[in-house]
């Protein structure tokens, strides 16, 4: 359970850093002494960069999510196999006792 809290803290930190970077970029653009055309170009570049970073973050999140799904599937399959083996053993024991 402790591992999950660390994961959420890390993800929260990353999200906070991205949002903070976006706010700082916007504030610096709005207060910079530039012409309207230059400001629009800077905003466009900054938006593109932020979207690329968000896309990278989303891709990483998808990969990690897929890894978690695969781990859960593997563990569930293992547990079902163990349970199936125990059921078969129990059924064999019952059959042996019934034969006696």
Report pLDDT for 2: 52
Given a cut of 60, whether residue 98 has pLDDT beyond it is yes
Report pLDDT for 9: 72
In the Cβ-directed half-sphere of 80, how many Cα atoms lie within 13 Å? 6
Q: What are phi and psi of 32, to 5 degrees?
A: -80, 140
Given a cut of 70, whether residue 87 has pLDDT beyond it is yes
User: 67: closest CA among 75, 55, 77?
Assistant: 75
- The total of other beta-carbon atoms located within 10 Å of residue 53's CB is 14
pLDDT band at residue 42 under the 50/70/90 scheme: confident
């Amino acid at each position: 359970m402790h591992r999950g809290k660390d994961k959420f803290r890390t993800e929260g930190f990353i999200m906070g850093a991205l949002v903070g970077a976006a706010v700082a970029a916007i504030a610096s653009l709005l207060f910079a002494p530039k012409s309207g055309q230059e400001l629009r170009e800077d905003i466009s570049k900054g938006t593109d960069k932020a979207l690329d970073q968000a896309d990278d973050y989303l891709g990483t999140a998808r990969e990690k999510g897929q890894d978690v799904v695969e781990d859960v599937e593997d563990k569930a399959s293992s547990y079902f196999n163990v349970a199936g083996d125990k059921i078969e053993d129990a059924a064999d024991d019952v059959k042996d006792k019934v034969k006696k």
